[in-house]
Amino acid sequence: MRRIISVSLLLAAVLIVVPGILTLVGGGYWFRVMTTIGVFSILTMSANLITGTTGLMSLGHAGFYGIGAYATALLSTKFGWPFYLTLPVSGAITAAFGILLALPTMRLIGIYFAVATLGLGEIIHVTLLNWVDFTRGPMGISAIPGVTLPGVFTASDTTHYYAVAITALIAAFVLGRLTHSYYGNALRAVREDDQCAASMGLNVVGLKIQSFAFACFFAGVAGGLWAHTTGYISPGDFRFSESILILAMMVVGGLGSLPGAVLGAVILLGLPEFLRPIGDYRMIVVGAVMFFSILFLPRGLLGETPVLTVVRRQFGLAWDAKSNLGWRQ
Amino acid sequence: MFDIFFVQQLVNGLSIGLIYALVAIGFTLIFGVLNVVNFAHGEIYMIGSFAGLMAITTFAPPLFVVILIALAAGALAGFGLERLAFRPFRRFRDEASLKSKAIREATLLSSLAVSIIVREIAEKIFGSNMQSIPQDYLLLKPIQIGSLSFADGQFLIFGLSIVMLGGLQWLLKRTRIGLSIRAVANNPMGAAYVGINTERTIIATFVIGSTLGAIAGLIVGLYQGAIFPAMGFVPGVKAFVAMVMGGLSSIGGAVVCALILGMAEAITTSFFAQGWGDLVAYLFLVITLIFFPTGLFGGGRERV
């Protein structure tokens, strides 16, 4: 029952309250800010599956985001595909690229994996920048159609907000089910000690590749949404600094926590908007927030609940006089 | 095949490779001692060239003095970086936590955060465009030898990097501080037990590595005529690649791989468009990690 209430509160907040407030404060610009926050929430939640849950630090997530954005942009400008086809297809394309590029790096752990993903992200960026025949290079791709369904709704800031919000909710649901399950526990076991997990009979490489594929799928969908909602993409949107931004969001929100990922995106993209009157200090704020949160909140704002707490809560019920569980009854 | 143009490209690649080597040594020293990656090394490189540039624009000293100023700025920046981004995370002194995954990732992220802050502050102060450098200081006077043409900056790069590499070898092998650096790199606890001041040694390592990086930054800035706040990123990543290829804690390996990288890039840009040159380093990185996970010159590390 509590679950139903909290889910419906969340749905009401995202789908009714936030757009209502945005309309009251003037719409337009603030809808676009919220759309960006939504796209980055999806990205951060997906990166969280690799970095937070499976424990592989990825420094190349922006590259996969870029693959998704270019797939969507090319599919919709060259073939005129509508958004409900481009988004899943570009997600699938990105997941395929992710598996292909990640297969050789899966044997690496720790800092070596981080460096290899940094290299992969930069390879993708350089390719997008220099393969002029296919990606139009530094000029980027413009005039990408927005999220529109003829006869039902047309592309506008509000439509884009709803498209991003609903996708983010779906992503949160899927990733939440994925991590709060035996499957998620297996991923956490890989994070804590991969040799130990392998000796317990888990297919460590398989799990790593699967989590990478899931994360890349959602990164691709986020890229597709970015392409549709902004209408113009260029390789400059998918650089190393975007990967760092995603990492900073995860660190601030708390590694391994889905609400933390969303909170990190809201803080790191929302704070600079409120600081705009005193100048454009966006990246300084990002750096400072990241530095101080590592220093003072090493677990992040909403760090993943430690397993021990969950165990205590579940088993503690047996000693709780009010509950009808256990041998007290 | 071996026409003049090709040889010319090789020489250019060698001078770029030497620069990567100077930057990579700083990385490798710090990794060897602390077992952590210093992502702010590229910003030290930038600080070195900006310090030199400011000295040039304010009182136009001879080049030798400019290099000394960059050296001092690099030493100061290295000291500050260690205090700010690395010291607060060395709360525990036992070996397990000194080499633990958590401290490695925390310092990786904190140095990344510091590098973002430093770069953005530099952009706020100087603007993100390239700075104008007085003509007299540009190291681009052509020198003709046979049918090859060199810039005088290339000779400076050759001379200075050989002097610095030699000096570093002397420092590590022949002096007391070098001995303690090697001791701490080998075993921090053991070094502390025999009375080596590990804190001071770590600071010395940062100062030495950062001076090398700062001088590399200054010379490249004057040689390529490009000094701007984001200039540290690309050489930083390339030097990092050289370090990983060389096996993370092998200085000789890092130098050799930096030279290979510089020449491979020069050769690539002579066959393909300029932009694809950057791809070489990353391809090298991924290929090395796949086929030689411990690096080309890496010793027997347990696992990667």
What's the rounded mean pLDDT across residues B47-62?
Answer: 84
Nearest by Cα to B46 from B205, B261, B216, B204: B216
Nearest by Cα to B115 from B19, B37, B17: B37
pLDDT at A303 over 70: no
Q: Give residues 173 to 202 of B whose Cβ lies within 8 Å of A.
A: none
**Residue A130 confidence (pLDDT):** 81
Residue B302's pLDDT band, with cuts at 50, 70 and 90, is: very low
Best of B103, B105, B269, B271 to substitute, by most chain A Cβ atoms within 10 angstroms, is: B105
**Residue A191 confidence (pLDDT):** 81
pLDDT at B168 over 60: yes
**Residue A218 confidence (pLDDT):** 92
Q: How many CA atoms lie within 13 A of A274 on its CB side?
A: 7
pLDDT at A62 over 70: yes
pLDDT at B51 over 50: yes
Q: How many CA atoms lie within 13 A of A111 on its CB side?
A: 25
Helix locations, A200-239, DSSP H: 204-230
Who wins on pLDDT, B61 or A164? A164
Q: Does residue B62 contact residue B138 with C-beta atoms inside 8 Å?
A: no
| Average pLDDT along chain A | 80
Contact B108 A118 (CB under 8 A): no
Find the distance separating the first CA and the last CA of chain A, reported in whole Å: 24
**Residue B238 confidence (pLDDT):** 84
Quick check: B285 contacting A, CB < 8 Å? yes
Q: Does residue B250 contact residue B299 with C-beta atoms inside 8 Å?
A: yes
Pairing of strands B142-145, B148-151: antiparallel
Nearest by Cα to B160 from B21, B54, B47: B21
Contact B286 A104 (CB under 8 A): yes
Q: Looking up tokens 């926050």, which residue turns up?
A: A37
B23-42 per-position pLDDT tens digit: 888 888 888 777 777 888 88
Domains and CATH numbers, chain A: 2-319 (1.10.3470)
Phi, psi angle pair for B175, to nearest 5°: -110, 170
Quick check: A39 contacting B, CB < 8 Å? no
Percent over 90 (pLDDT), chain A: 7
pLDDT at B259 over 60: yes
What's the rounded mean pLDDT across residues B112-129?
Answer: 84
Phi, psi angle pair for B145, to nearest 5°: -125, 110
Q: Which of B117, B273, B293 sits opposite A112 (nearest CB)?
A: B293
Q: Which of A111, A115, A251 sits opposite B104 (nearest CB)?
A: A111
Q: Looking up tokens 């481009």, which residue turns up?
A: A86
State how far the Cα of B68 lies from the Cα of B211, in Å rounded to an integer.
Answer: 10
Residue B101's pLDDT band, with cuts at 50, 70 and 90, is: low
B187-235 per-position pLDDT tens digit: 778 888 888 888 888 888 899 889 988 888 888 888 877 788 888 888 8
A chain contacts of residue B112, beta-carbon cutoff 8 Å: 244, 247, 290
Distance of CA A196 to CAs A116, A200, A202, A305, Å?
A: 24, 6, 9, 22
**DSSP-based helix, strand, coil % in chain A, nearest 5:** 75, 0, 20
Q: Which of A107, A119, A126 sits opposite B293 (nearest CB)?
A: A107
Find the distance separating the first CA and the last CA of chain B, reported in whole Å: 40
Rg of chain B taking only CA atoms, in angstroms: 19
Quick check: A250 contacting B, CB < 8 Å? no
A178-223 per-position pLDDT tens digit: 888 888 888 888 887 778 888 888 888 888 888 889 999 999 999 9
State how far the Cα of B184 lies from the Cα of B303, in Å rounded to an integer.
Answer: 21
B chain contacts of residue A254, beta-carbon cutoff 8 Å: none
Residue B102's pLDDT band, with cuts at 50, 70 and 90, is: low
State how far the Cα of B174 lies from the Cα of B279, in Å rounded to an integer.
Answer: 39
State the smallest CA–CA distance between residue B117 and chain A in angstroms: 5
Q: Which of B88, B116, B279 sits opposite A244 (nearest CB)?
A: B116
Contact B120 A281 (CB under 8 A): yes
pLDDT at B146 over 50: yes
**Residue A219 confidence (pLDDT):** 92
Return the axis-axis angle of helices B233-246 and A110-130, rounded to nearest 10°: 130
Specify the 3-state DSSP secondary structure of A233. Answer: strand
State how far the Cα of A153 lies from the Cα of B280, in Å rounded to an integer.
Answer: 47
Token pair, residue B255, equals: 């130098």
| Of the candidate ranges A55-59, A174-178, B206-210, the one whose mean pLDDT is the lowest | A55-59
Best of A136, A239, A280, A283 to substitute, by most chain B Cβ atoms within 10 angstroms, is: A283
* CA-CA-CA-CA torsion sign (B5, B6, B9, B11): negative
Residue B304's pLDDT band, with cuts at 50, 70 and 90, is: very low
What's the rounded mean pLDDT across residues A8-36?
Answer: 77
CB neighbours of residue A16 within 10 Å: 10
pLDDT at A328 over 50: no
Residue B290's pLDDT band, with cuts at 50, 70 and 90, is: confident
Percent over 90 (pLDDT), chain B: 3
**Residue A319 confidence (pLDDT):** 54
**Residue A95 confidence (pLDDT):** 92
**Residue A271 burial (C-beta neighbours within 10 Å; 0-12, 13-18, 19+):** middle
A chain contacts of residue B283, beta-carbon cutoff 8 Å: 123
**Residue B2 confidence (pLDDT):** 58
Residue A94's pLDDT band, with cuts at 50, 70 and 90, is: very high
**Residue B303 confidence (pLDDT):** 44
| H-helix or E-strand spanning residue B78 | helix B63-81
**Residue A216 confidence (pLDDT):** 92
Contact B120 A283 (CB under 8 A): yes
State how far the Cα of B250 lies from the Cα of B6, in Å rounded to an integer.
Answer: 30
B chain contacts of residue A291, beta-carbon cutoff 8 Å: 85, 110, 113-114, 117
| Average pLDDT along chain B | 80
Percent over 70 (pLDDT), chain A: 86
State how far the Cα of B173 lies from the Cα of B15, in Å rounded to an integer.
Answer: 26
What pTM did the predictor assign? 0.81
Q: Does residue A22 contact residue A29 with C-beta atoms inside 8 Å?
A: no
Contact A111 B108 (CB under 8 A): yes
Residue B103's pLDDT band, with cuts at 50, 70 and 90, is: low
**Residue A109 confidence (pLDDT):** 67
**Residue A327 confidence (pLDDT):** 47
Spatial CB neighbours of A81, under 8 Å, sequence gap ≥ 6? A75, A89
Contact B237 A244 (CB under 8 A): no
Q: Looking up tokens 């597709």, which residue turns up?
A: A224
State the smallest CA–CA distance between residue B207 and chain A in angstroms: 22
State how far the Cα of A6 lies from the Cα of A42, in Å rounded to an integer.
Answer: 20
**Residue B183 confidence (pLDDT):** 86
pLDDT at A305 over 80: no
Rg of chain A taking only CA atoms, in angstroms: 21
Contact B109 A119 (CB under 8 A): no
Who wins on pLDDT, B109 or A223? A223
State how far the Cα of B70 lies from the Cα of B53, in Å rounded to an integer.
Answer: 9
| Of the candidate ranges A25-29, A149-153, B64-68, B226-230, the one whose mean pLDDT is the lowest | A149-153
**Residue A217 confidence (pLDDT):** 92
User: To the nearest 10°, the Cα dihedral for B169, B170, B171, B174?
Assistant: 120
State how far the Cα of B25 lies from the Cα of B161, in Å rounded to an integer.
Answer: 11
pLDDT at B299 over 60: no
